[in-house]
Amino acid sequence: MNTTERLAWWKRPEFRLIAVFVLISVGLYLVADIYRSAINSNGNVVAVAGRMRLDLVSTLRAIADLQSRDPQVSAMAVDELSRVVGAVDRQLTVLLEGGEASLAPGQSFRVTAEALPPAARAAARSLLEAWQPISGAAAKVVERPTDTAAQAELVSLARSSESTLLRTASAMIGSIGADSLVQARRLGVVSIVAAVLGVGFFLLLIWLYSRQLRAAAAARKETDEILATVKSGLFLLDRQFRIGSQYSAALGQILPYGNLAGRNFIELMKPLVDAQTVRTLEDYLGLLFEDRVKEALIESLNPLDRVQLNLIGETGRTERRHVEFSFRRVAEDGRLAYLLVSANDVSDRVELREELDKLRETVHRESDRALELVTRLMRLDPGVASSAVARWERLLREANDALRSADLEEADLRELVDRVFRPIHAIKGEAAALGIGHIAQQANEIERRLAELRTRSTLDGNDFLPITVALEDLFRQHGDLALVVQRLGERTPTDAGDDDMELVARSLETLAAELARSLGRGVSFEAQGIDRRIPEWLRRPLEDILSQLVRNALAHGIEDPQERERLGKPAYGRLRAAFRRLSDGRYELRFDDDGRGIDFDAIRSRAVALGRLTAAQAATATPKELVRFLFQPGFSTREVADDASGRGVGLDIVRNLAARHGGSIGVSSSSGQGATFRFVFPADAPA
């Protein structure tokens, strides 16, 4: 090649385009590398700062333990100080001056002196100023563990600086994160620019080569090489929608029909997409071949911009692929002759995005649930929350014990449904009233499965396997809830002088208020004698009975505020529980409300609907006979179940609890005035 030819080659537009692209690519790569390095550096700094904050918290906790009355705790606090104070010193030095950082044995990395962003550096200096007095005082305590004056000085310094230290550390970490976000955004912009330039360059290069397809064999060979190696499915379409004689090898993987040359693209797509998409595609391609139609104006009409293709694989099974088709006009001798089609299999990208969306949704759901749970629990009396968690654990164990001890005889299995139903129903209603939604939802799911078992003509042990699995999941969720309640209880300790029955009274008051709020009603709860005078053997059953009666009264008895006002009643309903010892030594529990009273007509209608009475029997049934239906399993005047009622379990629980503890039940009601439940228990626990 002579000098003249070499100069002509250097002046070719393809080379100039490549040179410009390479220069831009190198520049973008260098800029991106700068941003990536900054993000990586911030990651290291965040790791050091986060570890430092943890050690800072450990230091403050150890300082708080110095003055413990337990000598062992004080000694352990001194040992902890000797470890974490030095760690905080080293980490502050690394952040401000750079150096080697080690967060775990055998894992270390280098932090440069310039790694800390300016805003974070200012926060770090402020943190150092607040930390140095504590560090010096801690060194004295470590050196002289028995020096109470040094300990007192350290504790005083820590108390006065605790909020400043933690707030400054959090501000420093936040500044580093903000800087990382800025760098990430810049990196994203660079990546987008690089991608746009890359796609633009690629399409332009293909267009230049497509013009020279008939020019020479050498140009054809170069095109063949490109088509054999490119990852996109590339081909030309003529005005009859036929695929050109040359196409990329990748197209054969996207459209596995063998030789595609000369075949009609529309016909190939018919088995892969629906008929409407085929018709739209034909119209769209026709518009692209119209010279008077602006290509940019109809680009958004592309029906194959991203389409799902259902292909039959080698195994005979249908495979789902996501493919993006793009269409570009190709002119030959100044005339629109072809469409250049690019097909890219983006299945991996789509599946990854779907998985990420599912993961993001799961993370958001779990985060929202955890935040909602903590917020809800912080509103509750810590003693009430702790009492509810303890009670639910007892009810869960009752349901679990019933499942474990059940016989496989069908009669026993039908009784087992009710034995499991009772504790789960109690958990569901109380959790819903207290706003612990995920516990209520899981309990409701178990209730739903149990309700289905009630309707089956025959039962066997395998029918209870889904119940057992769901109960295990409820146990797990309850364990998580118990841990949160315990941690919150440690931060807000309850009054140690409270008797457990006084706590039960508060829990019932909270249950009544929360359930009334959820039902759009107002209610007051009065408790008389619900205190330490109740004998030990009656405490747990009375708690369970009153919990069910509160829910039953609000679900069926207490009217809406508007209805109460129409009836001349106070807008707020009244619930009252009273416990006392009778003159003959027995115990009496009374529970009454001022609601609408028992609806005997509704009981008659429901008993007939359930087939438990004929119409004639219902018409002559006395109120005493009708009341008995309220205590039968599966009987409810509500046709649709909700969080408060509808499964026919609540008063069945009350009857069962009273019978197990030797109690009798009396019920009285006055229409529009309310209902009263009276329980009489023996003087001593039944043998």
What is the per-residue DSSP string for 93-120?
HHHHH-EEEEEETTEEEEE-TT-S-HHH
Burial class of residue 69 (count of CB atoms within 10 Å of its CB; 0-12, 13-18, 19+): exposed
In sequence order, which residues have a C-beta less than 8 Å from that of residue 381 and are 6 or more positions away? Answer: 494, 506, 507, 510
Measured CA to CA, the distance from residue 494 to residue 283 in angstroms comes to 74
pLDDT of residue 378: 64
Per-residue confidence (pLDDT) for residue 626, from 0 to 100: 87
Rounded to an integer, what distance in angstroms lies between the CA atom of residue 237 and that of residue 289?
10
Structural domains in the chain, CATH included, are: 3-206 (1.20.1420), 228-345 (3.30.450.20), 349-494 (1.20.120.160), 499-687 (3.30.565.10)
CA–CA distance, 666 with 602 (Å, rounded to integer): 20
pLDDT recorded at residue 205: 67
Retrieve residue 637's tokens.
């005047």
Helices (H), 66-103: 71-97
SS3 at position 670 = strand
Rounded distance between C-alpha atoms, residue 302 and residue 358, angstroms: 28
Q: Which residue do the tokens 């000797």 mark? A: 82
Q: Is 674 helix (H, G, I), strand (E, B) or coil?
A: strand
Residue-level pLDDT at 4: 40
pLDDT tens-digit readout, 213-235:
555 556 567 766 776 777 777 88
Interacting residues of 106 by C-beta distance below 8 A, sequence separation 6+: none
Q: Beta-strand (E) ranges in 422-490?
A: none
Q: What is the radius of gyration, based on Cα positions, of the chain?
A: 38
Average pLDDT per block of 10 residues along the chain, 687 residues long: 46 69 78 76 78 81 78 80 80 80 72 79 81 83 81 81 81 80 79 77 70 59 72 84 84 79 86 86 85 79 81 68 85 81 81 72 60 63 75 85 71 77 80 77 84 81 83 85 78 56 83 86 91 89 89 89 91 93 94 91 87 86 86 73 55 86 91 92 88
Using alpha carbons, select from 43, 143, 155 the residue that is nearest to residue 103: 43
Q: Is the model's pTM score more than 0.75? A: no
**Are the CB atoms for 515 and 433 separated by under 8 Å?**
yes
Q: Which amino acid is at 502?
A: E
Residue-level pLDDT at 680: 95
- Torsion, Cα of 460, 461, 467, 470 (10° steps): -140
CA–centroid distance for 366 within its chain? 2
Whether the CB-CB separation of 392 and 439 falls below 8 Å is answered with yes
Residues 6+ apart with CB under 8 A from 60: 158, 162, 165, 166
- Cα–Cα distance between 397 and 280 in angstroms, integer? 62
Q: List Cβ neighbours of 389 (8 Å cut-off, separation of 6 or more).
A: 478, 481, 482, 485
- Print the SS3 string covering 571-623: CCEEEEEEEEECCCCCEEEEEEECCCCCCHHHHHHHHHHCCCCCHHHHHHCCH
Task: Give the bridge partners for 329, in sequence order.
Answer: 339
Q: Which two tokens stand for residue 261?
A: 């040359």
**DSSP letters spanning 183-202:** HHHHHHHHHHHHHHHHHHHH
Tokens 């397809």: give the residue. Answer: 213
CA distances (Å), origin 329, targets 172, 236, 302? 55, 9, 14
